[in-house]
């Protein structure tokens, strides 16, 4: 694990990302204090990372599991149409 500054991250982004593909992990510092971690994510680990770190994803999964448990389900087409309706409502609300 290596420590890098935000300036190094900005300057060497592509090089650092390639290094993460070879299991390097970087702690990014701002003003000498850790502020984030740069590490590789693959398709297998992405789901786990999102579930652990995103309250929105976690809530959606829990809600979906509850729906299944209670017999509530929808086809993919129904789901897509519902999402479009929600998105239209959000856009309309913001425009007002």
pTM exceeds cut of 0.75: no
Give the pLDDT band (50/70/90) at residue 88: low
Helices H, strands E: what count in the chain? Answer: 5, 3
Strand-pair category, 2-5 with 26-30: parallel
pLDDT digits (tens, 9 = 90+) for 27-73: 999 999 999 999 998 888 888 887 788 888 788 888 888 988 999 88
Percent of the chain with pLDDT over 90: 45
* Strand ranges in the chain using DSSP code E only, listed in sequence order: 2-5, 26-30, 33-38
């Amino acid at each position: 694990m290596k420590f890098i500054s935000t300036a190094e991250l900005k300057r060497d982004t592509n090089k650092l990302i390639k290094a993460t593909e070879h299991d390097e992990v970087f702690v990014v510092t701002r003003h000498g204090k850790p502020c984030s971690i740069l590490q590789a994510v693959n398709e297998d680990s992405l789901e786990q990372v999102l579930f652990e770190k995103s309250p929105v994803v976690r809530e959606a999964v829990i809600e979906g599991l509850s729906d299944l448990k209670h017999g509530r389900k929808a086809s993919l087409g129904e789901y897509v149409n519902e999402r479009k309706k929600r998105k239209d409502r959000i856009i309309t609300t913001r425009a007002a």
